[in-house]
Amino acid sequence: MAFVHSVSWRTHGPIGIAVLFLDLGFSAFLKAVSWINMTDNGVFEKESGQGQTVSRAMIIEIMNKKFEKLPDIDKKLFSYGHIYLAGNAGFAGLIANSFFRRVLNVTQGRFTSSLPMAVLPFLTTAAFYTATVTNPLMSGDLNCPTCTLIRGALVGVVGGGIYPILLALPVNAGLAARYNSAPMPEKGNMIRFWTNVSKPIVRKMYVVLLLQGLFGTYLSSKHFDIYLKMLKITDSDSEELRG
């Protein structure tokens, strides 16, 4: 836990601290995504009803053709819906940042702390939703409606709620240490100190977590409905596979 040491706060700027913290969390995120989509780069094959083997590339090509036949409103929702969830995550990051600034009496570096708190949750949530919901649907890997809803809810809560809270802590702790706006804990008392600082903020963020979870669930349900619409669309490629 070297990134919570007061020396680190003074050595790195808030954006540098945010990037370091993002690197720690994003490595775990990439492992999770690679586990979920472990067959993306491999030879992925499925058996059709007549015993034919259908490659992943062929499935994706067919799904893309079906996607082009959808109404414009469905195509826009499927393509850009996750941007709204990511935007809410960026807004949640700004809220968490504001709470920590008040608790730690930080008045300096408003822009340098707000920038990573808005951008990083936005990018992470958008990438996470695409990797765990959108891409699996378009490749035919995600056929379970309950699983889709759970993934959407988790992306909303984790990427759009918990992650901004965790990110706001090192960013504002670094500013508090640099400008001496709040006393920093002793080396052996760090965990208790930051836990006590974070608890009231987490309670205030409960509503944000709930809303993000609900919105992620709603968005993933709409995307699964669109996926079912695509499955009902017939084209020449689909007929060839069935034949």
Range from 63-72, 186-195, 230-239 that averages highest in pLDDT: 63-72
The answer to whether residue 49 scores a pLDDT higher than 60 is no
If one counts every other C-beta atom within 10 angstroms of the C-beta of residue 77, the result is 18
Question: If residue 57 lies in a helix (H) or strand (E), which one and from where to where?
Answer: helix 56-68
CA 102 to chain CA centroid, nearest Å: 26
Q: State the residue range of the domain holding 96.
A: 2-28+57-242
Residue 21 lies in a domain: yes
* pLDDT at residue 235 in the model: 58
> What is the chain's mean pLDDT, rounded?
80
Structural tokens at position 96: 């968490």
> Into how many domains does the chain fold?
1
- pLDDT of 55 strictly over 60: yes
Q: Quick check: is 47 in a domain?
A: no
Full-prediction pTM beyond 0.85?
A: no
Residues 236, 96: Cα–Cα separation, whole Å: 51
Reference 10, options 171, 173, 170, 178; nearest CA is 178
Provide the pLDDT for residue 238: 45
Q: What is the pLDDT of residue 53?
A: 57
Residue 40 lies in a domain: no
pLDDT reported for residue 7: 40
On whether residue 46 sits in a domain, the answer given is no
Q: How far apart are the first and last CA of the chain?
A: 59
> Within 10 A of 93 (CB to CB), how many other CB atoms are there?
29
Whether 86 has a pLDDT exceeding 60, the answer reads: yes
Following DSSP, what letter does each residue of 118-177 receive, concatenated? HHHHHHHHHHHHIIIIIHHHHTT----HHHHHHHHHHIIIIIIIIHHHHHHHHHHHHHHH
Q: How far is 107 from 168, CA to CA, in rounded Å?
A: 15
- On whether residue 63 sits in a domain, the answer given is yes
Distance of alpha carbon 34 from alpha carbon 76, whole angstroms: 27
Residue with more model confidence, 26 or 231: 231
pLDDT at 58: 86
Question: To 10 degrees, the CA torsion angle through 182, 183, 188, 194?
Answer: -20
| 211 in any annotated domain | yes
Any domain includes 45:
no
Looking at the domain assignment, is residue 43 inside a domain?
Answer: no
**Better pLDDT: 152 or 191:** 152
